[in-house]
Structure 1
Amino acid sequence: MNKKFFLYPFLALTILLLSACGDDDDGDDSTPARDRGEEAIAAQLEIETYLGSHFYNYEEFANPPADFDNKVRIDTIAGENADKIPLLEQVEFKIVQDRFEEDVEYKLYFLKVTQGGGDSPNFPDIVNVTYDGFNLEGEVFDSSLIPAQFDLTLTIDGFQDVLVEFNGASVIIDNPDGSISYENFGIGAMFVPSGLGYFDNAAISSSLEAYSQLVFTFQLIDARVGDQDNDGIPSIMEDLNLNNRVDDDDTDEDLRPNYFDSDDDNDGRPTRDEIEIDSQGNITFPDVDGDGIPDYLDADS
């Protein structure tokens, strides 16, 4: 597949960036938030009911019409569409842990139409995507027709958890007219339970109520390695406890996690000056005092 976009300096400042950090169970001060475990069970039932009664335009992807835009479109199985294959028979899922209660898990469903042939993002990377976001009633609350850039550490958890399963474009072409074309990019959809979305936050959009289950159809155009603090260490390497989160790794306990802290050990020397990067981009971590702690994490080195 091939799709052309005219790109401009663009950082999407949309509600998608109101991430899981907004899932702090504040909601309405007068109403306690629902139990996250009970809500996870209810959300799964809602989503599976939706998947059993809806289909996507798989026939268009199998036999693309002229000027097909490679967008996933979802509709109800009814009337002239009564014989369509339900999404429930075509989706995959992964088990994802709740970010707030360790004993709560979600069955996160996603539809993989095209894997994509380029780079696949890690969870703290930067991506460019086109997408439509809507609730289970089909009401759109957010969308971008041109590639929108997102820091995955700032998106809702479900969005982050699914995009890492896809790859960006394998071919990027600079056209004479100034546009850029992409080929073989990731295409899919995700079905996000409220606990991996906005949970009890009902102030996101007039189209969303508290505890809404979400659907995103998307095209993953490309991905690049995240280094949010520009310290020379990719943020994926700043997940020191290897729990697929970077917000809880804070070596110097200054309330700035390492991936967003240019001096990880707070010794006055920037992290970038305490590592070595060769001409191929390989990183080594000196340990001048030989105590087994690399200098950039060792305040007395």
Structure 2
Amino acid sequence: MNKFKYYFVLLLAGISLVSCNKSDDDDVVTVPLRDYAVQYKADNDSIEKYLKTNYITVINSPGTPQDQDVVIKKIVAGDGNVSIWDQKTYTLKTRPVYSNDVNYNVYYLILREGTGESPTNTDKIVASYTGNLLNNTIFDSSYGYPTTHNLFPYASENTVIEGWSEIFPKFRKGTSTTNPSTGVVTYSDFGAGVMFLPSGLAYYASGSTGGSVPAYTPIVFSFKLFDLQRMDNEFSVSSSTGQPVFLGDGVPDYLEDINGDGYLYDFRDTKKYPSPPTNLVDDTDGDGIPDFLDFDDDGDGFTTRFEITKPTGQIGIVNGINYGNRLYYPWDPIVDNPATPNTDETEPRGIPRRPTGALADPTKAESSTNVKAYLPEDYTAIPRLRIHLDKTYPIKQN
């Protein structure tokens, strides 16, 4: 698709669009940005009319490149076709989205949910797509080829419009097979759907590059979700370039989704989110920085990366004990993958909770220099409050 960093639209919200037209006295004529709520009502009316006056044809041919390809056409009186709105073959759903102080209800169609994991709205995805206007003119397509996209809006490249970030997490990736002779990857059981996006979650006032999508135009994307890449998006801003430098904190974003809804937001952008719903907040320490962007999730003064780092003497096999080869504890213990016989992925210990064993010196109070020992269940108990989310540990030195 024509990539568009939707947060650029937010910048436009604070200024006016300048028209190329001039009045007789050569004064520049400015055109104010349209109100998001008013525009959404108009867009939603257009989308619902589209759903009620067009029908969809889907190729259901597993194992072929055309599987889940979509054609949408306008209903002609008497042709017997059933509208997208009225058909029962595929589930038409809505997703509530809060953005620019508007409560959107975004329509999307589930052709196939998929069988694998779902991305969060900050992960990378591998997908194919076709985009069309409400007159069914195609304005962009990957022509069936899988392409990589970043759903995280603050990433520096391959980012997508906001609607993609909101709808793709409702689907699951498929499975892949690589031909050993040609290296060609084929996908099966992938998620597939259609999203119907109001302009406020698409290109809004800017339109798309090249003018194929006019300003304030609702659009439609049919898509296939083949694969995903989990991301760890904590970043700092380079003092020399002003660009984000992604460092991560050792915990992938999807594991920092505290409420488990599959979505992560940075509500510090008060222009875009003036009154965010409290149930969408994923912020352990309440400092306003969501965990997926916070280098210190629990606000105890110790970075998350420090708290989940294994002791140097507990990496690999030490004195006959397998501690796992990672430098950092995984979220939970991991068993060996039988599909990779030459690699042992076993990680018997996950991120620990505050230790519950005996004190180093039972005659003295617990302190930063007199700590408790970790017990095996401190690494494996479910549930447990992992130490990077527990502001009471490590104990600070007096």
Alignment TM-score > 0.5, same fold? yes
Q: Deviations over 1:78-137 (max 9, x none)?
A: 27x822121112452224233220xx2222111111111111122222211101122213
Q: Distance in 2 between matches of 1:239 and 1:248?
A: 14
For residue 245 of structure 1, what is the amino acid of its counterpart? L
The correspondence of residues 140-151 of structure 1 with structure 2, limited to 5 A, is 140-144=138-142, 145-151=144-150
Residues 1:209 and 2:210 are matched in the alignment = no
Residues 1:259 and 2:263 are matched in the alignment = no
Aligned to 2:250: 232
Asked if structure 2 preserves the Cα contact closer than 8 Å seen for 1:140 and 1:207, the reply is no
Aligned to 2:187: 182
Asked if structure 1 preserves the Cα contact closer than 8 Å seen for 2:6 and 2:162, the reply is yes
Aligned to 1:173: 177
Going from structure 1 to structure 2, the CA distance change for 1:295 and 1:168 (only over 3 Å counts) comes to: closer
Return the TM-score normalized by structure 1: 0.76
How far 1:211 moved relative to its partner? 1.0
Asked if structure 1 preserves the Cα contact closer than 8 Å seen for 2:297 and 2:388, the reply is no
For residue 121 of structure 2, what is the amino acid of its counterpart? F
For residue 99 of structure 2, what is the amino acid of its counterpart? R
Going from structure 1 to structure 2, the CA distance change for 1:251 and 1:89 (only over 3 Å counts) comes to: same
For residue 212 of structure 2, what is the amino acid of its counterpart? S
Q: Distance in 1 between matches of 2:304 and 2:63?
A: 53
Aligned to 1:16: 3
How far 1:69 moved relative to its partner? 4.1
Q: Deviations over 1:30-85 (max 9, x none)?
A: 22222222212111110011111111114x43x78987443112122127x82212
Return the TM-score normalized by structure 2: 0.59
User: What is the SS of the residue equivalent to 2:127?
Assistant: strand
Going from structure 1 to structure 2, the CA distance change for 1:173 and 1:97 (only over 3 Å counts) comes to: closer
Going from structure 1 to structure 2, the CA distance change for 1:54 and 1:284 (only over 3 Å counts) comes to: farther
Aligned to 1:272: 305
Residues 1:283 and 2:283 are matched in the alignment = no
Q: Distance in 2 between matches of 1:219 and 1:191?
A: 15
Q: Distance in 2 between matches of 1:100 and 1:211?
A: 15
Please state which structure has a larger fraction of its residues in helix.
1
Going from structure 1 to structure 2, the CA distance change for 1:27 and 1:55 (only over 3 Å counts) comes to: farther
How far 1:209 moved relative to its partner? 1.4
Aligned to 1:56: 56
Aligned to 1:194: 199
- Which stretch of the first structure deviates more once superposed, 234-243 or 204-213? 234-243
Q: Distance in 2 between matches of 1:258 and 1:220?
A: 26
Q: Distance in 2 between matches of 1:27 and 1:297?
A: 46
Q: Distance in 1 between matches of 2:194 and 2:17?
A: 30
**Which of 6, 12, 17 lines up with 1:28 in the alignment?**
17
Going from structure 1 to structure 2, the CA distance change for 1:285 and 1:147 (only over 3 Å counts) comes to: farther
For residue 137 of structure 2, what is the amino acid of its counterpart? E
- Which stretch of the first structure deviates more once superposed, 18-27 or 136-145? 18-27
User: What is the SS of the residue equivalent to 1:110?
Assistant: strand
Going from structure 1 to structure 2, the CA distance change for 1:21 and 1:256 (only over 3 Å counts) comes to: farther
User: What is the SS of the residue equivalent to 1:39?
Assistant: helix
RMSD over aligned CA atoms reads 3.7
Higher Cα radius of gyration: 2
Asked if structure 2 preserves the Cα contact closer than 8 Å seen for 1:172 and 1:181, the reply is yes
Structure 2: which 5+ runs fail to align? 19-29, 154-159, 235-247, 269-282, 310-328, 335-346, 356-366, 372-384
Q: Deviations over 1:213-233 (max 9, x none)?
A: 011110000123221243211
The correspondence of residues 101-112 of structure 1 with structure 2, limited to 5 A, is 101=101, 104-112=102-110
Q: Deviations over 1:181-204 (max 9, x none)?
A: 111111111000112222222354
